[in-house]
Structure formats: C-alpha cells, structure tokens
Amino acid sequence: MRIIGIETSCDETGIAIYDDQQGLLAHQLYSQVKLHADYGGVVPELASRDHVRKTLPLIEAALKQANSSKDDIDGIAYTAGPGLVGALLVGSTVARGLGFAWQKPVVPVHHMEGHLLAPMLEDDVPEFPFIALLVSGGHTLLVEVQGIGQYRILGESIDDAVGEAFDKTAKLMNLDYPGGPRLAKLAEQGQAGRYKFPRPMTDRPGLDFSFSGLKTFTANTLRAEGGVDNADQQTLADIAYAFQEAAVDTLLIKCKRALKQTGLKRLVIAGGVSANVFLREQLAELMRKLGGQVYYPRTEFCTDNGAMIAYAGMQRLKAGQTTLDAVVKPRWPIEELPAV
C-alpha cells in the first residue's frame, strides 16, 4: 500500500509518500521561516495563505520523486490537529478534494501522534511499550505508549511548553526568529557554573511541566546585568547556557521519574526540541546509566514534516480509520485516539 501524507499544521508545508513495503519514497518540505521572520513569530493568516500556494506543487513534486501517479496511491493522510485552524483547513481541504477526485480514502492524523511515531521511520525501531517525551511547539508531553493509539498522558505543560520557553527567552535576548535553535547555538559558547537557574516543579511529586518561570528568571538575570544591550557576549552566552541547562535538566528529571514509575526501559523523544544536541547528549547519558535505550527520529523529521504524517496515516488506513469529511481539530487530546 502507498499513501500521501500532508502536513500543514503551522509554518511548514510537508508532503511525503510512504509505501508499507518499500518505506519512504518521497519527502518534500517548505519552511515559512523567512516569511514570518520580520514579525518575530508565526502569523496565522500568512501561514494559511502560504500553505495554499505550496501544497499542490509539493504534492506534484513528491509524486515525481516517488515515480508515482494517482493510480499508485491507496490513501491520503493529512494533519487534522492540533494546530492553527486556518492552516489545518488547507491540508484537510486539499486531502478531501483529492480523495473525491481520485476516489481514494482520506485519513485524518493527529499531529502529535505523527511526532510520536516518527522514530519508526528509522532503521532502529523502538518496540512497544515505551515512554515518549514529545517536545513540539506548544506541547510538552510525557506519554506511556503501549501501542499505536494506546496512549496514557503521564505529564504535560501547565503553561509554556519547553519549545515556547526557548523561543520566548531567545526573544528576550534579542535573537532572531526562529529563536530556539539560535539560543541553543549561543549556549554552546557559554560556560557552566556562572549562573544557577531553577528546575521548575522538580521539588514536588508529579510529572507535569512548567517553563514560564524560567523565562522570567532569565529576564531578571538580564536585568541584573544591565540589560541585553549592556551585557557582553560572554555574559549572554553564559545566561543562554544556564537556561538551556535548567530546561534540559528538568526534562531529564521528569523522564527518569516516568521510567521509574512505569518500569519501562525504552524512551522515545520527538518534536522540534528533540533536535537539540545538548538534550540528546544528556538523555543518552541518562539512559546509559539506567540500562535503557533512547530513540530519536533523524533531525529532518524532528520538526514538522509530511513523512511522519504519511507513516501514522498508513497505520490508520490499514485499520480502516478513514473519513469523508474535512475534519480539523485545533485542540485534540491524544488520549482520544482509538487503538489500532
């Protein structure tokens, strides 16, 4: 079977073609970073318009890359949520239109399930059950995964997700959009020990996250140093290092608790923040000490992409979970998904 995956939940237009025997056949991605850079963040209306312009040309490019035609396609998967409603509607409308025109089933896919299953695109595939740390955009989730669609949320962010905290802190430090990766790059020049930031919500039981306080602590630290414009480059790098260290350490503490609580030894990390090199290094060391194993998607599949939607859609297509409606759910708890 062969399926097209369409991802339009935010500021990347991703199209991919996945074959259940041959694997990933095509992967096309267009990023809107330059479009939104002048505004310091994603402008929903501009994002939607750009998806309208890019989706069909990228589908044509993917079909050509996979040496396929509509007759070779058995289904069309699209991101139904969570995400920006206007952006989601572009993908769902295109998917439904192609479904009617080509007489193919259409599969709505949960964006976070796409991230969760992205490591399945690699050669080293995690076996069920495992713990998943999902760190994508406005989401920070710890999920116990028994199988596809068998998800139990163990912890989630109660205010800013870790990705949001990275981006907002970068903005405080006058770093260009997208801020998170730039802050991580600046932190590479920082020195450990000069500043000590708190590890929020680690001094109490539970697996929920809160990162808004780290942003505030950074703002206060910058103010104490005379502000961004008056601080030297090394000071800014040291502050960036302390912020990243605190954020990553908080994630590690909660992951360790989740693994101990469930008795599991496998950890999956996915989503945009999972590309952070420091986070990967620290989690690898944690799992080595625990005698477990950590799994990631390759870097290009950490951010939003069509490949993860195509893979997740294939699993749902095989289970007959298709629709004739252009369903979108800007808010969609992952625990609502049916099992496969």
DSSP assignments along 11-56, one per residue: SEEEEEEEETTTEEEEEEEEE-HHHHHTTTS--HHHHHHHHHHHHH
Residue 107 CA, distance from chain mean position = 20
Nearest partner of 54 among 74, 73, 34, judged by Cα = 34
Nearest partner of 278 among 176, 143, 210, 185, judged by Cα = 185
Check the annotation: does 273 bind a ligand: no
- Name the maximum alpha-carbon separation found in the chain: 64
Check the annotation: does 92 bind a ligand: no
Check the annotation: does 167 bind a ligand: yes
Q: Where in the chain does DSSP place strands (E)?
A: 2-7, 12-19, 23-31, 75-81, 106-110, 130-136, 139-147, 150-156, 266-270, 293-295
Q: What is the C-alpha to C-alpha distance for residues 174 and 230, in angstroms, rounded to an integer?
A: 12
Domains and CATH numbers, the chain: 2-117+301-336 (3.30.420.40), 128-296 (3.30.420.40)
Q: What is the C-alpha to C-alpha distance for residues 62 and 248, in angstroms, rounded to an integer?
A: 36
Cα first-last separation, the chain:
17
Helix axes 233-262, 277-290, angle to 10 degrees: 30
Check the annotation: does 19 bind a ligand: no
pLDDT of residue 3: 98
Residue 325 main-chain phi, psi, to 5 deg = -100, 155
Q: What residues in the chain have per-residue pLDDT under 50? A: none
Residue 172 CA, distance from chain mean position = 23
Contacts of residue 280, defined as CB under 8 A and 6 or more positions apart, other chains included, come to: 269, 274, 296
pLDDT of residue 324: 85
pLDDT of residue 191: 96
DSSP string, 199-214: -TT-SSSS--B--HHH
Check the annotation: does 138 bind a ligand: yes
Q: What is the C-alpha to C-alpha distance for residues 145 and 218, in angstroms, rounded to an integer?
A: 34
Nearest partner of 80 among 8, 2, 3, 29, judged by Cα = 8
Check the annotation: does 141 bind a ligand: no
| 3-class DSSP assignment, residue 237 | helix
Check the annotation: does 232 bind a ligand: no
Check the annotation: does 304 bind a ligand: yes
Check the annotation: does 137 bind a ligand: yes
pLDDT of residue 298: 95
